[in-house]
């Protein structure tokens, strides 16, 4: 099918109502993607495309045809509808709804070089996306979410992660204790990122499976994580600020451990 074979649909079409639901705050297991580079990244993966919406006045036929070949359903929309549906100032006339991959804890196998980031109580979709991108950049095994408030399916997560939400394993545990137990069962040594800790992250031992736990921007780590008996580490603050952005902190910690493990 090419996009030229598709007839336009109106504002009351049920697929548009479904798209508005996904657009608002994400839908469990599904995410909205819009824009040219976003779709280029999508097409580099095997992610199933459920629905594709194309506005010919705002995009290119070449990109649209490539996406339509992969999509289960294709719809053509007007510029007026595009303005209503888009979250961006420039969407290139390309909007898709895709299925996020599902990752199962039982399928993971770890080694001494394994590295995991745990994000506790993450509040903002942008931060969550940046954390996913950081996990990918440090070649970490996965991101674990506990007490999360932002959804991985929020559209902003895709942009902030630069599309790596489609390829980076993300696991979610309802209970902090279960997450800590799962990591320990796999031989991980857990380090809590705590600005009040006396030990520097540079002094840690990262020779085996290593996990860092970071908290939310607003309230930090929950009491439940502090009750797990994990080692706490800090990043020394040399100026007037008392802490760093959570994603920047995670990057410093992950890359320190990765450098130690890989010898660079």
Statement to judge: residues 181 and 227 lie in one domain: yes
Statement to judge: residues 88 and 119 lie in one domain: no
Rounded to 5 degrees, φ, ψ at 111 are -130, 180
Residue 1: which pLDDT band, with cuts at 50, 70 and 90?
Answer: low
Statement to judge: residues 149 and 209 lie in one domain: yes
Give me the mean pLDDT over the 165-176 stretch. 97
Q: What is the pLDDT of residue 4?
A: 65
**Mean predicted lDDT score pLDDT of the chain:** 93
Statement to judge: residues 51 and 170 lie in one domain: no
Low-confidence winner among 5-14, 78-87, 136-145 (lowest mean pLDDT): 5-14
Alpha-carbon distance of 209 to 193, in angstroms, equals 17
Percent of the chain with pLDDT over 90: 82
- Provide the Cα torsion 75, 88, 158, 54; round to 10°: 10
Beta-bridged to residue 49, according to DSSP, are 71, 98
Q: What is the pLDDT of residue 91?
A: 82
Statement to judge: residues 126 and 256 lie in one domain: yes
Statement to judge: residues 94 and 153 lie in one domain: no
Q: Among the three residues 99, 125, 155, which one is the final residue of a domain in this structure? A: 99
User: What is the pTM (predicted TM-score) of this model?
Assistant: 0.94
Statement to judge: residues 238 and 144 lie in one domain: yes
Summarize pLDDT for 201-259 with one digit per residue, the tens. Answer: 999 889 999 999 999 877 789 999 999 999 999 999 899 888 889 999 999 999 999 99
Residue 8: which pLDDT band, with cuts at 50, 70 and 90?
Answer: confident
How far, in Å, are 149, 213, 241, 243, 255 from residue 202 at the CA level?
Answer: 30, 16, 20, 16, 11
Q: Is the pLDDT assigned to residue 160 strictly greater than 90?
A: yes
DSSP state of 202: G
Q: What is the pLDDT of residue 128?
A: 97
Give me the mean pLDDT over the 15-40 stretch. 91
Q: What is the pLDDT of residue 63?
A: 85
CATH of the domain at 210: 3.40.1280.10
Statement to judge: residues 110 and 76 lie in one domain: no
| Triad 42, 46, 47: Cα angle to 5° | 60
Alpha-carbon distance of 156 to 231, in angstroms, equals 33
Give me the mean pLDDT over the 120-133 stretch. 96
Give me the mean pLDDT over the 44-58 stretch. 94
Statement to judge: residues 113 and 240 lie in one domain: yes
- DSSP letters along 56-94, please? TTTS-HHHHHHHHHHEEEEEE--HHHHHHH-SSS--TTE
Q: Is the pLDDT assigned to residue 65 strictly greater than 70?
A: yes
Q: Among the three residues 75, 99, 123, which one is the final residue of a domain in this structure? A: 99
Low-confidence winner among 105-114, 166-175, 197-206 (lowest mean pLDDT): 197-206
Closest CA to 81 of 50, 49, 98, 56: 56
49-54, strands of its sheet edge to edge: 30-34, 94-99, 49-54, 71-76
Percent of the chain with pLDDT over 70: 98
Q: What is the pLDDT of residue 241?
A: 86
Summarize pLDDT for 53-62 with one digit per residue, the tens. Answer: 999 988 777 7
Q: Among the three residues 99, 116, 138, which one is the final residue of a domain in this structure? A: 99
CATH of the domain at 67: 3.30.1330.30
Give me the mean pLDDT over the 106-113 stretch. 97
The number of folded domains in the chain is 2
Domain that holds residue 70: 3-99
């Amino acid at each position: 099918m090419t996009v030229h074979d598709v007839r336009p649909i109106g504002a009351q079409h049920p697929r548009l109502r479904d798209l508005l639901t996904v657009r608002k705050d994400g839908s469990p297991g599904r995410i909205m993607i819009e824009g040219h580079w976003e779709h280029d990244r999508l097409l580099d993966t095997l992610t199933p495309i459920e629905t594709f919406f194309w506005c010919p006045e705002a995009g290119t036929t070449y990109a649209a045809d490539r996406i339509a070949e992969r999509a289960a359903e294709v719809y053509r929309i007007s510029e007026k509808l595009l303005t209503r549906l888009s979250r961006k100032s420039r969407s290139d006339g390309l909007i898709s709804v895709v299925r996020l991959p599902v990752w199962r804890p039982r399928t993971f196998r770890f080694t001494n070089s394994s590295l995991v980031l745990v994000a506790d109580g993450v509040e903002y979709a942008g931060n969550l996306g940046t954390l996913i991108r950081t996990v990918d950049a440090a070649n970490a095994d996965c991101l674990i979410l506990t007490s999360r408030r932002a959804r991985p399916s929020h559209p902003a997560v895709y942009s902030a992660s630069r599309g790596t939400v489609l390829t980076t394993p993300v696991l979610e545990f309802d209970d902090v204790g279960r997450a800590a137990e799962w990591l320990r069962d796999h031989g991980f040594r857990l380090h809590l990122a705590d600005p009040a800790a006396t030990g520097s992250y540079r002094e840690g031992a990262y020779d085996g499976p290593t996990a860092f736990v970071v908290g939310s921007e607003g309230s930090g780590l929950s009491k439940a994580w502090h009750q797990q008996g994990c080692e706490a580490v800090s990043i020394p603050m040399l100026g007037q600020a008392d802490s760093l952005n959570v994603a920047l902190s995670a990057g410093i910690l992950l890359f320190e451990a990765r450098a130690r493990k890989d010898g660079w």
